[in-house]
């Protein structure tokens, strides 16, 4: 009897975890992990941090070694998938070849959102998503040169910190009125603006980019107010878009990501999906959510592997995230969507450690913990311990006990 084959499209965090979890679940059929970038899957979060700053080598980014896949008989295929034929159960590769599957997992990730302005094609205008992107940036990042970062989100600020460590002059251009505006409270935004300015970064808010200028290489960033900002190097970090085209063209439901249920199944129950490319209804947040974080990708992948293996597991873990900038480690528990109140522990105007608790209708929904690992652990516990909400009194008591 021919062994069943699972094909995983996307050698991402989710793809790598799904392949490993299939073996842990007892799947003894073929596993083919298809990727078009690197010999083995690698970690992306360190790209804008330690790898860009030159503190880690590429080999240190590998999620698992090549030997791991060999020992578990997981085939790594360097290819790009162009189409899915659901009725025939096969994929069309860019080489024109077909790859048959019995089970299919989509872990296609996301890509940087492009800034479509005149001059965007110039040399020196970069995006950061892959190790190759970082290698190009590092080659251009000469000490004393001027780097302009378009976007004051987490990626932009992490890149700013890394480039300062490399000795560059750095300016961050943020289109909204404060950095991290879409994801944090004003108090947290003000803290990170202060920290970066103390480290020598120039931050400009309300700065709308209209064009890049230069003959073949970028020389200036033109703003909507007519100002020209000099630049030897530009890194654009204005968010990402999920890679859903493959799924959509195959007729799968897409809504800000490939739609999955709590068992990681797509609208075709024979196809699962996991990672940054997916969106899922989350009742606690009142709608469909697409999470861009490694812990979520890993959990979805584990559930997808169980589903393929005929077992019943559901996605349930609390979303959490992190960011490293200089000596500051931000750990985030939960999503602050819809918060109407914040409670501060510590003083973000003076200190380099504090926690911002987000409440909605008097109940805790998320926490931003800056150099406060104990608060992070407590926040995760409070947010996951029970279906009932955690109010101010219980929050205050738990934080006091943790700091005792």
CA-closest candidate to residue 368, choices 331, 397, 326, 336: 331
pLDDT at 401: 57
HSE (CB half, 13 Å, CA atoms) of 215? 0
At 377 the pLDDT is 95
Fold of 125-236: FAD/NAD(P)-binding domain (3.50.50)
Q: Are 40 and 300 in contact (CB under 8 A)?
A: no
Q: List, by residue range, all CATH 3.30.390.30 domains of the chain.
A: 327-403
Three-state secondary structure call for residue 57: coil
CATH 3.60.150.10 fits 327-403, yes or no: no
Percent of the chain with pLDDT over 90: 88
pLDDT band per the 50, 70, 90 thresholds, residue 346: very high
Residue 402 has pLDDT above 90, yes or no: no
Task: State the chain's mean pLDDT as an integer.
Answer: 94
Residues forming a β-bridge with 255: none
The H or E element that residue 74 is part of is: strand 74-78
The answer to whether residues 18 and 107 touch, using CB atoms and an 8 Å cutoff, is yes
Q: How far is CA 401 from CA 114, 351, 375, 396, 397, in A?
A: 46, 21, 10, 9, 6
The whole-angstrom separation of Cα 105 and Cα 35 is: 13
Does the pLDDT at position 137 exceed 60?
Answer: yes
Q: Higher pLDDT residue, 229 or 317? A: 229
- For domain 5-111+241-308, is the CATH number 3.30.450.20? no
**Using 50, 70 and 90 to split pLDDT, how confident is the model at 398?**
low
Rounded distance, CA 209 to CA 167, Å? Answer: 25
Q: Where in the chain is the domain with CATH 3.50.50.60?
A: 5-111+241-308, 125-236
Whole-structure pTM value: 0.93
Please give the Cα distance from 142 to 161 (Å, whole number).
Answer: 15
């Amino acid at each position: 009897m021919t062994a069943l084959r699972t094909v995983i499209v996307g050698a991402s965090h989710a793809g790598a975890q799904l392949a490993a979890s299939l073996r842990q679940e007892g799947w003894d059929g073929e596993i083919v992990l298809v990727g078009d970038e690197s010999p083995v899957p690698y970690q992306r979060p360190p790209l804008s941090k330690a790898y860009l700053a030159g503190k880690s080598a590429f080999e240190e980014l590998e999620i698992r070694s090549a030997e791991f896949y060999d020992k578990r008989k997981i085939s790594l295929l360097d290819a790009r998938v162009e189409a899915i034929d659901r009725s025939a159960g096969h994929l069309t590769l860019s080489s024109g070849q077909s790859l048959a599957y019995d089970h299919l997992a989509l872990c296609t990730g996301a890509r940087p959102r492009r800034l479509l302005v005149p001059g965007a094609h110039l040399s020196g205008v970069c995006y950061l998503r892959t190790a190759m992107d970082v290698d190009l940036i590092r080659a251009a990042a000469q000490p004393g040169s001027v780097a302009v970062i378009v976007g004051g989100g987490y990626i932009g600020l992490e890149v700013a910190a890394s480039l300062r460590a490399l000795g560059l002059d750095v300016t961050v251009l943020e289109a909204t009125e404060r950095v991290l505006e879409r994801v944090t409270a004003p108090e947290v935004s003000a803290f990170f603006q202060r920290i970066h300015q103390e480290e020598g970064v120039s931050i400009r808010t309300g700065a709308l980019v209209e064009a890049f200028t230069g003959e073949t290489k970028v020389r200036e960033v033109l703003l909507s107010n007519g100002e020209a900002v000099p630049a030897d190097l530009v890194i654009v970090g204005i968010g990402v878009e999920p890679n859903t085209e493959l799924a959509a063209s195959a007729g799968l439901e897409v809504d800000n990501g490939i739609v999955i249920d709590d068992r990681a199944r797509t609208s075709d129950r024979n196809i699962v999906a996991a990672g940054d490319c997916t969106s899922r209804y989350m009742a606690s947040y009142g709608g469909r959510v697409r999470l861009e974080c490694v812990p979520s990708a890993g959990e979805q992948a584990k559930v997808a592997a169980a589903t393929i293996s005929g077992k019943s597991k559901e996605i349930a873990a609390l979303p959490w995230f992190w960011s490293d900038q200089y000596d500051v480690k931000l750990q985030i528990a939960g999503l602050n969507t819809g918060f109407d109140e914040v409670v501060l522990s510590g003083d973000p105007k003076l200190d380099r450690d504090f926690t911002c608790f987000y409440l909605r209708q008097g109940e805790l929904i998320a926490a931003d913990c800056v150099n406060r690992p104990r608060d992070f652990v407590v926040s995760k516990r409070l947010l996951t311990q029970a279906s009932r909400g955690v109010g101010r009194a219980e929050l205050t008591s738990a934080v006091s006990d943790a700091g005792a």
